[in-house]
Structure 1
Amino acid sequence: MRALGRLAQVCRWLRRFTSCDLLWRRIARASLNSGFTRLGTDLMASVPVKERVKVSQNWRLGRCREGILLKWRCSQMPWMQLEGDSLYISQANFILAYHFRPDGASLNRRPLGVFAGHDEDVCHFVLANSHIISAGGDGKIGVHKIHSTFTVKYSAHEQEVNCVDCRGGIIVSGSRDRTAKVWPLASGRLGQCLHTIQTEDRVWSIAISPILSSFVTGTACCGHFSPLRIWDLNSGQLMMHLGSDFPPGAGVLDVMYESPSTLLSCGYDTYVRYWDLRASVRKCVMEWEEPHDSTLYCLQTDGNHLLATGSSYYGVVRLWDRRQRACLHAFPLTSTPLSSPVYCLRFTTKHLYAALSYNLHVLDFQNP
């Protein structure tokens, strides 16, 4: 009887220990895509940590259920963004907003809104300050208020605007015309260019620093300089080149800041590179190579250990654990007759969304 009593005490202690939120938080910070950043910030406070740890195991093991959310008849180069329970995706010269159903793995078929204004296809867009800032093949930038009919477009570049970003009331744009430009978002000053930067190369990607002091451009790498350069946001002056060993044509198709001093890039040379400006501007501190020598069109990170990339062949999405060199899992989303790049991808703690030429895919890691 005494032994049974001690066993009961131990069982009660273990139950209390395993239900301790602090324990699960420690496990979650070491897990993949649990909603915690490297700094320990919790981005998903409304979701129980224990549940997130369970789902993160599915990410680590590659257990998911694939589905198709949207289809379209003509080949597109779509871009998308997530905000709350809404998804925004470009199709030709429109941007459509859809509402997620509660499961997160399906959409209400009727769009919440349709945002138009470009004469040619939308190349890129971002969400900022209740606005959609769009870049078009017509050389124009569009500014749309999400919850009203307000829409303004203005001529920004001589050729297509390939990329755009917006933070703190400032818009930056990059174009095939070999310039990057800085614009105010304030309604009374829309279309008034603050700076024009001669990049001497086609600009494919652009991102503003979180502290609004600078921005980075990713270019086609057709000149005798690095395709990654950082510019002062206030003066438009060149601050630094990143890297020194890019081969010709190693254009940067996607770039993103993780913090004011760290950023990620990917592109035609098949590498994802992690840069830490505090350590070196001449060499990245970590890199991951696409194993099938495919161009990398896009990347996303959970701000901690998980990295996802989209490849140019067969719609392959790859998951990486940044603590390892080798790819964790690969998900080919198209077959040979309909081979397509992954033009854009986004993910939450439970789902990954990938936009290809003919459809929008979802990988459901909550209900594999």
Structure 2
Amino acid sequence: MTDTLHLDILPYEVLLTIFDYCDAFDLVRLSEVCKRFYEIVRSDAVWIKKSRGLLVTNQVSERFRKRCNPVLLSPRSMWLVSYNWQYGRYERKTLISNKVKAMPWLQMTNDTLWWSGSKLLYGVKRSSKYCKDKVNVDIKYNNCFYNNICGADICKFVLCGNFIISGHSNGDIQYWLDKSHKGYPSVVKILRCVHSCDIDGIDATSQNIISGSVDGMIKIQKNVDIEEDNFDKNEISIDFMDKIDRVQSLVIDPTGTQFAVGSSGTTIIPPLHLINIETLIRYTMFDEKRYPWKHGAGILDMVWDNPQTLLTCGYDTFVRKWDLRTEKCVSSWADPNDSALYCISSDYQYSIITGTQHACAAVLWDQRMCNFVQLYFINSQTFPLRSPIYSLRFDSSQLYCALDRHLVKLNFSGQSCQRNNYKQFLINYCN
């Protein structure tokens, strides 16, 4: 009589190969079979291969890791958090509520979330407690750092080194010193009347500050030492008033050699332009011959996925992916509610999240798929919100959405979050 063979006596490497064919739910069941299976399933070796293609949690890009809190997730935790993103399992919390409506803007680092609305600037401190063996991310929000500006509304702002550089509705640009470790930001420099009207696009590198206003004016200034008094001698003014209508978005590429400008698209000139910072040559790469632009298909927000790839969104209700090497739109995704897209954010790999004009909806996209992955409706029974999502930012486990009166956070790191699978609801409704 031969001895009975048992699966649990196989070599470790053989079991790992077998477990690679199992999905996550089967692995959880296998961990309950015996002590050896439990120890193998709890190890990172089983989950590393499964975590490589995950959405949101796959922190390949260094730019994305700089805004993540916690900075790194274990492979097993990556799968669980990614599952929560895809199936709408999250906890909702309102961080800021205002009585006055505004058109806010967000920027984020791994330790601070910055929010502007009207004349106010908030810095929300982020801290986390993280356990490697299980998802236990506790983001704490300390008292908001608050500063009231004696001037015009903040339209857009950007983080650059230790400074926050903001563009205002009266054309001023202000330098704020990031003193978040002390509890507040403070204005250290004001550039008066850089533009004559609202600055709706602004970005900066260590060398340059580039801004664009609603009258079509674009200005490039050297980002010199903050102690210098004379900024005018470093200013280069590019006047596109006769060729480009209202500037609505502006972003510098990761190499700092060129920048993209998005306009309202209400003229015969296409709304997407590239400008070389050194030569100041403007190149309307995506003209009518290369892409059939519709009238009014303005670009409201953009993000560089990498130096060769630009993502845009706007009034035409599409997310578009532009390849600068082929000078073509290589992919596009239509909003499921046929809504204008006000903002866009990326993890610089597969994941994209957009904020829509209607229904307080944020949409998760996978660049490898044709359809959207999930919908997140930011409104709740307590706050029946109808505001657009004007700006949003996300890291591996948190999504922040800026509405006209509220700043809302969705936390996807919990193990017992309520499931809100709005994608399935939408599919069932349409059928």
TM-score (norm 2): 0.78
1:194 aligns with 2:194: no
1:339 aligns with one of 372, 380, 386: 386
Indicate if the aligned counterparts of 1:33 and 1:305 stay in contact, CA closer than 8 A. Answer: yes
The change in CA–CA distance for 1:218 and 1:72 in structure 2 (over 3 A counts) is same
| Offset, 1:193 | 1.5
- In the other structure, the counterpart of 1:365 is 412
Aligned twin of 2:24: none
Higher strand share: 1
Q: Is the alpha carbon distance of 1:29 and 1:141 closer, same or farther for their aligned partners in structure 2, counting shifts above 3 Å? A: same
Label 1:42 to 1:24 Cα distance change in 2 as closer, same or farther (>3 A): farther
What is the SS of the residue equivalent to 1:59?
helix
Instruction: Output the CA distance in 1 between the equivalents of 2:261 and 2:216.
Output: 11
Matched, 1:74 2:118: no
2:81 is aligned with 1:55: yes
Paired residue type of 2:8: L
Residue 8 (structure 1) aligns with = 9
Q: Does 1:263 align with 2:306?
A: no
Structure 2 counterpart of 1:160, one-letter code: D
Aligned partner of 2:188 in structure 1 is 151
In 2, Cα distance between the equivalents of 1:325 and 1:5?
A: 44
1:133 paired residue among 128, 144, 165: 165
Secondary structure at the aligned position of 2:284 is classed as strand
Of 291-300 and 24-33, the range deviating more from structure 2: 24-33
The one-letter code of the counterpart of 1:246 is W
CA distance in 1, matches of 2:158, 2:112: 14
Structure 1 residues 268-320: Cα deviation after superposition (integer angstroms, max 9, x where no partner): 110100011112x2x30000011222110001111122111100012111111
Residue 64 of structure 1: aligned partner:
90
Following superposition, the deviation at residue 349 of structure 1 comes to: 0.5
Match of 1:230 in 2: 274
- Residue 117 of structure 2 is matched in structure 1 by 91
Q: Residue 28 of structure 1 contacts residue 36 of structure 1 at CA under 8 Å; is this kept in 2?
A: no
The alignment partner of 1:324 has SS state of coil
**Partner of residue 27, structure 1:** 50
DSSP-derived class of the 1:304 partner: coil
State the partner residue of 2:147. Answer: 114
Unaligned residue ranges in structure 2 (runs of 5+): 17-36, 129-136, 180-184, 418-431
Judging changes above 3 Å, is the alpha-carbon distance between structure 1 residues 334 and 5 closer, same or farther for their aligned structure 2 residues?
A: closer
The letter for the 2-side match of 1:179 is M
8 A Cα contact 1:36 1:303, kept in partner: no
Q: How many correspondences in the alignment?
A: 364
Match of 2:250 among 202, 206, 220: 206
Aligned equivalents of 2:317 and 2:375: distance in 1?
15
Q: Deviations over 1:202-256 (max 9, x none)?
A: 1000011111111100001122121000001113221332253111111100011
Gap change, CA 1:153 and 1:324, over 3 Å in 2 = same
Q: 1:85-118: CA deviations, max 9, x gaps?
A: 211100211211121253555522x22353635x
120-129 or 4-13, which moves further after superposition? 4-13
Farther-moved stretch of structure 1 (35-44 vs 337-346) = 35-44
CA offset at residue 41 of structure 1?
A: 9.3
Instruction: Quickly say closer, same or farther: Cα 1:251–1:100, change in 2 above 3 A.
Output: same
SS of structure 2 residue aligned to 1:223: coil
SS in 2 for 1:124: strand
Q: Normalising by structure 1, what TM-score?
A: 0.90
- The Cα of 1:266 is off from its aligned counterpart by 0.3
AA aligned opposite 2:350? H
Point out where structure 1 has 5 or more consecutive residues left out of the alignment. Answer: none
Paired residue for 1:330?
375
Identical positions, percent: 28
Q: Aligned partners of 1:344 and 1:164: how far apart in 2?
A: 15
1:245-264 paired onto structure 2 within 5 Å: 245-264=292-311
Which protein shows a greater Rg? Answer: 2
Distance (Å, rounded) in 1 between the aligned partners of 2:325 and 2:43: 37
